[in-house]
Amino acid sequence: MSPLQGCLLLSAALFSVGLVIALARSNAILVLLGIELMLNAANLNFIAFWRFHSGAAPATGVIFVLFAIAVAAAEAAVGLALVIALYRHQKNLRLQEATRLRG
């Protein structure tokens, strides 16, 4: 198994764990954290390809990850603000109960 394959498998596994957390847990914060984990898995891929795959421009992978981290930060900020707003409305963080917008 080449290093690239190892990295990709690690990334896939991390993505799956993130997915499981996001799907199975009902707490909004945990769901958000699961999504962050999935983002991290994607970033892992960028770095893996940048490092172990020839042909890419020298810094593209790194720059992609930097952008992704920045976007993730923005996403987390907004997401947690939503969590707090959600909490203020229904006094808990159970996403199943956040159905007010359903028609």
Partner 1 sequence: MTFTFLILAVIILGSALAAALRPNLIHCALLLVVSWLGVAGFYLWAGAEFVAFAQVLVYVGALSMVVLFAVLLTRQSRAELRVDAPETRRAVWAVIAGVAVSGVIGAAVFATKWDPAPVTAPEVTVRGLGLELMGAHAAALLLLGVLLTAALLGAVVLAAPDRPEKEEKS
Partner 2 sequence: MNATPLANPSSGAHVRSVPGDLPGDLMEVSMGPHHPSTHGVFRMIVTLDGETIVRLKPVFGYLHRNHEKLAENTSYLGSMPYTDRLDYLNSMTNNWAYARAVEQLAGIAVPERAEYVRVILAELTRLLNHTCLAGFLMQDCGCSGTPLMYAFREREKILDLFESLSGSRMMCNYQRFGGCRVDPSAAWLAAAQQLVDGYGPFLDEFEALLTGNEILLARTQGVGRLSAALAINAGVTGPMLRATGVNYDLRKVDGYGVYPRFQFRIPLGEHGDVYDRYMIRILEMRESLAILRQALAGLPAGPIMNPAAKLRGFRPKAGEAYGRIEGPKGEIGFHLVSDGGPNPWRYHVRAPSFINLTILEDLCLGHTVADAVIILGSIDIVLGEVDR
User: Is 85 an interacting residue with respect to partner 1 (CB under 8 A)?
Assistant: yes
Contact mark string toward partner 1, 6..45, x via CB under 8 A: xxxxxxxxxxxxxxxxxxxxxx-xx-xxx-xx--x--xx-
Angle made by CA atoms 90, 96, 99, in degrees to the nearest 5: 65
Segment holding 14, helix H or strand E: helix 3-24
Cβ at position 103, least distance to partner 1 in Å: 23
Distances (CA, A) of 6 to 40, 49, 78, 86, 91: 16, 11, 33, 40, 44
User: Is 75 an interacting residue with respect to partner 1 (CB under 8 A)?
Assistant: yes
Cβ at position 95, least distance to partner 1 in Å: 11
State which of positions 43-102 bind partner 2 (CB under 8 A).
91-92, 94
How many C-beta atoms lie closer than 10 Å to residue 99's C-beta? 9
* Residue 56 near residue 74 (C-beta atoms within 8 A): no
Binder of partner 1 out of 47, 97, 100, 102 (CB under 8 A)? 47
Q: Would you tell me which residues interact with partner 2 (CB under 8 A)?
A: 91-92, 94
